[in-house]
């Protein structure tokens, strides 16, 4: 199930209501099925990131906080929620498969940009429904992922 971590909810409120400094960039990282993210998950180190290499860098892909990378906002008066779509995130395997070794990507999560990847806070997460691997030359695309806010 996709959703927000409690850490993410807290950070969003702090940025919005206390003018806390948001991360310069956000990241989308990929994780194995060794541990499932849930609302209580705090940091990348709580999960098992897929092996880096061949087009996947530890920490994942960077996102800017703008309307290019968060491209469609929806105000849903029917279901009383707000949604935002992410641009397509593409990891292209080059020189070997992604992941370079070990288990495939089962989960994706949005994190902050802490210089220490393992300490990055996890804000939102998605279940890719099965372990995903791509072979050399193929791409793993996270297409139109959504983040939603529901009361």
| Residue ranges binding another protein (CB under 8 A) | 1-2, 67, 71-79, 85, 126-127, 129, 143-144, 146
Map tokens 């990378």 to a residue: 69
Q: Which helix (H) or strand (E) holds 10?
A: helix 6-17
- Minimum CB distance to another protein, residue 53 (Å): 27
Shortest distance, position 130 Cβ to another protein, whole Å: 12
* Dihedral class, residue 68 (left if φ above 0, else alpha if ψ from -120 to 50, else beta): alpha
Closer by beta carbon to another protein, 76 or else 136: 76
Report the residue number, 53 or 82, with the smaller CB distance to another protein: 82
**Do 12 and 110 touch, CB atoms closer than 8 A?**
no
C-alpha distance from residue 87 to each of 5, 19, 132, 138 (Å): 21, 26, 19, 19
Q: Minimum distance between the CB of residue 87 and another protein, rounded to whole angstroms?
A: 10
**Do 30 and 49 form a contact (C-beta atoms < 8 A)?**
yes
As measured in angstroms, the least distance from the Cβ of 108 to another protein is 11
What's the closest the beta carbon of residue 141 comes to another protein, in angstroms?
Answer: 10
Taking alpha carbons only, the member of 150, 104, 145, 143 closest to residue 2 is: 145
Kindly tell me which of 74 and 116 has the beta carbon lying closer to another protein.
74
- Nearer to another protein by Cβ, of 1 and 115: the residue is 1
Taking the least distance from each CB to another protein, the nearer of 43 and 89 is 89
């Amino acid at each position: 199930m996709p959703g927000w971590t409690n850490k993410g909810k807290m950070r969003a409120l702090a940025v919005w209501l206390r003018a806390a400094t948001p991360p310069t960039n956000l990241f989308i990282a990929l994780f194995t099925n060794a541990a499932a993210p849930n609302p209580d998950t705090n940091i990348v180190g709580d999960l098992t990131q897929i092996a880096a290499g061949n087009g996947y860098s530890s920490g994942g892909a960077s996102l800017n906080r703008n309307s290019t990378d968060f491209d469609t906002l929806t105000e849903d008066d029917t279901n009383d929620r707000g949604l935002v779509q992410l641009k397509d995130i593409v990891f292209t395997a080059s020189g070997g498969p992604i992941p370079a070794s070990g288990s495939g990507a089962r989960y994706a999560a949005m994190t902050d940009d802490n210089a220490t990847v393992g300490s990055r806070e996890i804000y939102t997460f998605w279940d890719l429904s099965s372990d995903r691997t791509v072979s050399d030359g193929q791409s793993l695309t996270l297409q139109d992922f959504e983040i939603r806010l529901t009361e």
